[in-house]
Amino acid sequence: MSEEHPIPISVVRLGEDVEQLLLEVVRSGIIAQGPKVKQLEDTFASMIGVEHVVAVNNGTTALIAAMDVHDLQAGDEVITSPFTFVATLNAILAAGATARFADISVDDFNVTAASLAALVTDRTKALLPVHLYGQSAAMAPIADLATAHGLSLIEDAAQAHCATDDGRFAGSWGTGCFSLYATKNLTSSEGGLISTNDAAIADRLRVLRNQGMRQRYQYEMVGNNFRLTDIHAALCIPQLAAYEDQLKKRRANAQRLNEGLTGIEGLRTPVELPGREHVWHQYTVLVDESACLGRDAMIDALTAAGIGCGIYYPKLVHDYDCYRNHPGVVIDETPTAAAVAGQCLSLPVHPYLTEGELDRIVTTVRGLCGS
Ligand SMILES: Cc1ncc(COP(=O)(O)O)c(C=O)c1O
């Protein structure tokens, strides 16, 4: 084990402003859904340029609620990415719908319009791109595809708060689903946000999250308890004002890592594609067979050197016994995603990295790669 202090892959650091707001909420006596939830919704809506944001209790329920209000039903097909966190797939299956998988681009790790288009049939009801690691998918052609075929567009923006493509924010093209889990760029410990420009969808989401009630004991639809609390909202609200600065640090860190790690045999550094603003939730390199150390050996060596790292994600999302033979899962060939799952390795990029830590990450990776 390294003598030097460990560098974690992510850090949660909440300031005195959060402590004060939490105290205010606790003292107010309104600790369930209340004015702080509304403030969080309205502030985030203006940050990503949408008309409505509805807060829910986590990112998975954001996706489940989105499926519900888009009327997804048994037999409907939803095309998504096979290279994602399992919540994306679980939400499709919770709706009783069928998941299909489009291949990704190695440049941004996201599904492409062409790979989605190849799977559209008359059973397709929705497209569900995932904006992985903090970079938006190429959304304009995906939105065009959805419009051309009359499909719902649900975006898994769990990792992409304020990422943009062509000047438009992730989550502003269709129904956007964000996570506020502890390690996300913005957090309420657990929490989720759903964005939309469609007033009818927003209205249904608000009723759905509150047991189908607009007024007490007047049920309009089969609902659920998906409510966020003011305690959770208070954790997140102060982070919104500080987010631009945090993003600057994430960007500078990613640039520094890219400069330091460029030109290593067998190691591909991540790119921010033209016209996009990456929010660097993860900094993910690809380690191929020409590298002098394999991906898994590199993970072990980095861990021993005290450098936090992770594999997001080690397998395609359907490549587990519980999904492989599931009637709601149709496995399509996705060679790029399969290759990327075997090569991806994420390094720390969080905003609290010091100059010395960034140097240590670069030197350690270079040392392991013999360069
Ligand atoms: C891509 C993706 N989708 C969905 C989720 C689910 O969010 P939550 O953990 O808040 O339920 C996550 C969270 O890790 C995620 O990374």
Distance 179 CA to ligand 1 centre (A): 5
Which pLDDT tens digit goes with each residue over 80-96? 999 999 999 999 999 99
Q: Which atom of ligand 1 is nearest to the CA of 91?
A: 4
Q: Which atom of ligand 1 is nearest to the CA of 87?
A: 4
Distance 262 CA to ligand 1 centre (A): 30
Q: Which atom of ligand 1 is nearest to the CA of 130?
A: 1
**How far is the first Cα of the chain from the last one, in angstroms, to the nearest whole number?**
22
State how far the Cα of 253 lies from the Cα of 248, in Å rounded to an integer.
9
252-256's contacts with Cβ under 8 Å and 24+ in sequence apart are 253/280, 253/283, 253/349, 253/350, 253/351, 253/353, 253/358, 254/278, 254/280, 254/283, 254/349, 256/358, 256/362
Q: In the predicted model, what is the mean pLDDT of the chain?
A: 97
Ligand 1 contacts (CB < 6 A) are 58-60, 84-85, 87-88, 130, 156, 158-159, 179, 181, 192
Nearest 10 degrees: Cα torsion 221, 225, 226, 230: 130
- Which of 64, 181, 236 most suits a substitution to test ligand 1, by most atoms within 8 Å of the C-beta? 181
Distance 266 CA to ligand 1 centre (A): 30
Handedness of CA 294, 296, 300, 305 (dihedral sign): positive
Distance 313 CA to ligand 1 centre (A): 13
Distance 61 CA to ligand 1 centre (A): 9
State how far the Cα of 327 lies from the Cα of 322, in Å rounded to an integer.
10
pLDDT score of 156: 99
- Which of 60, 130, 155, 346 most suits a substitution to test ligand 1, by most atoms within 8 Å of the C-beta? 60
pLDDT score of 371: 77
pLDDT score of 241: 97
- Which of 159, 193, 235 most suits a substitution to test ligand 1, by most atoms within 8 Å of the C-beta? 159
Which pLDDT tens digit goes with each residue over 140-198? 999 999 999 999 999 999 999 999 999 999 999 999 999 999 999 999 999 999 999 99
Q: Which atom of ligand 1 is nearest to the CA of 192?
A: 10
Distance 181 CA to ligand 1 centre (A): 7
Distance 64 CA to ligand 1 centre (A): 12
Distance 217 CA to ligand 1 centre (A): 32
Residues of the chain with pLDDT under 50: none
Cis peptide leading into residue 181 (ω within 30°): no
- Which of 85, 186, 312 most suits a substitution to test ligand 1, by most atoms within 8 Å of the C-beta? 85
Q: Which atom of ligand 1 is nearest to the CA of 58?
A: 10
**In the structure encoding, which two tokens stand for residue 321, read together?**
């016994």
Distance 85 CA to ligand 1 centre (A): 6
pLDDT score of 2: 61
Q: Which residue's structure tokens are 């990792």?
A: 159
**DSSP class of residue 267?**
E
pLDDT score of 360: 97
Query: Which residue spans within 14-167 are E strands per DSSP?
Result: 52-56, 77-80, 98-101, 124-128, 152-156, 164-165
